[in-house]
Amino acid sequence: MTVMYNDAKSIEQAGEMKKFIAVAGNIGVGKSTLVNMLCQRLGWQPFYEPEAINPYLADFYEDMTAWGFHSQIFFLTHRLRLHQEVVHYPDSVIQDRSIYEDAEIFAHNLYQQGHFSERDYDTYRTLYESLAEFLPPPDLVVYLRASVPTLLTRITRRDRDYERAIPSAYLEHLNQLYENWISNFILCPVLTVPADNLDYVAHPRHLDLIASKVEDKLTGKEEVIFAADEMSQF
């Protein structure tokens, strides 16, 4: 039987007080919502995506090939700054989307779509890998895995104008990039959450289950899974 918890005492008692979690996943999967709910539960500090307006964005949408490199360098720079703020924050934190996703998912997608030249992509990767080598990784990545139908349902539910026209094929391609990235990610432990089966907004006890699994990973348990019979109890 899984024991639920309502605060951060179990994690704090495990040793090091400060923890750093990054929540990863595709567009619309519910990263920001989970960050907010877990931070409220644990009393930790949330860090959301940078709000700075990308000065290259308008040009990028006009000509993605000409401005893709500039736009992604801007995003990478601001994500690096946020990562540094997270690392130096004195208390435990949960970050909405990691610096790794900028490079491994979104910049890689632009390259695959032909919007990065080979030269620009090589330069971008060299810069990213040089920076990542010196960045302290999170203590845990929580990866929210969801199918395209679930993503589309949640995107429709939150009803953001700029997301309404996102094609399902684009989300499917990003899913494939996410799966490839997470299967090869070794910088820290990963907790994969089956978001198709867990709706922590509609069902608060789904949040209880996720929180207990986060605790298991942060306190050193090697294999942590969401069993089908376990999820059906909620």
Residues 18 and 162: their CA atoms lie apart, in Å, by: 36
Q: Is the pLDDT at 230 greater than 90, yes or no? A: no
Question: Can you tell me the mean pLDDT for 65-93?
Answer: 94
Residues 124 and 72: their CA atoms lie apart, in Å, by: 8
CA–CA distances in Å: residue 29 to residues 84, 96, 145, 177, 201 = 25, 12, 8, 15, 12
Averaged pLDDT of the chain: 88
pTM metric for this prediction: 0.88
Question: What pLDDT score was predicted for residue 151?
Answer: 95
Q: Collapse the DSSP code of 100 into the 3-class scheme (helix H, G, I; strand E, B; otherwise coil) and give the result.
A: helix
**pLDDT confidence band for 228 (50 / 70 / 90):** confident
Percent of the chain surpassing pLDDT 70: 89
Strands (E), 71-189: 93-96, 140-145
Q: Is the pLDDT at 234 greater than 60, yes or no? A: no
Q: Is the pLDDT at 4 greater than 80, yes or no? A: no
Question: What pLDDT score was predicted for residue 2?
Answer: 36
Residue type, 69: F
Residues 46 and 195: their CA atoms lie apart, in Å, by: 20
Question: What pLDDT score was predicted for residue 10?
Answer: 53
Architecture of domain 9-232: 3-Layer(aba) Sandwich (3.40)
The more confidently predicted of residues 103 and 224 is: 103
Active-site annotation holds for 96: yes
Residues 182 and 202: their CA atoms lie apart, in Å, by: 27
In tens, the pLDDT along 122-152 reads: 999 999 999 999 999 999 999 999 999 999 9
Sheet holding 93-96, edge to edge: 45-47, 93-96, 20-25, 140-145, 190-194
Residue type, 80: L
Q: Which of 7, 59, 63, 96 is catalytic?
A: 96
Question: What pLDDT score was predicted for residue 207?
Answer: 92
